[in-house]
Amino acid sequence: MKIDPVKWNRNASLAYAVGVWTMLGYVYYKYILGHDKVKVENVVEENGPNVEIYETKHTRTTIVYKGDYVPYSTMLLNFYKSTYGNDTESQEKEEEKK
């Protein structure tokens, strides 16, 4: 079976053009016209300070944070600082122990 390179190039170019124009149209619609912006509320009075509500046209997402939650990045940073802390901190801690 022989493939005609002219037809194949035309079909590939058409598929590529449709995909690119679809993507550009989506970017224009979503970001330039500003449709479907996210509305953020902090509902402090009703639910407490650890509740955030994100609302779009079709969805409503409620995120509840634990009151005493420490992020993993902060825990790792504190562990690193306690283990490999800089010289002035470790010297001050040693002087306090004495």
CA–CA separation, 26 and 12 (whole Å)? 21
- The 10s digit of each residue's pLDDT in 55-87 is 777 888 888 877 787 888 888 988 888 887 765
Mean pLDDT of the chain: 78
CA–CA separation, 93 and 98 (whole Å)? 9
Is residue 41 pLDDT above 60, yes or no? no
Which one-letter amino acid corresponds to residue 46? E
Domain ranges of the chain: 1-35
Q: Annotate 39-50 with DSSP letters as a single string.
A: EEEE-HHHH-TT
38 and 56 in contact (C-beta within 8 Å)?
yes
| More confident position, 46 or 70 | 70
In sequence order, what are the beta bridge partners of 41? 53
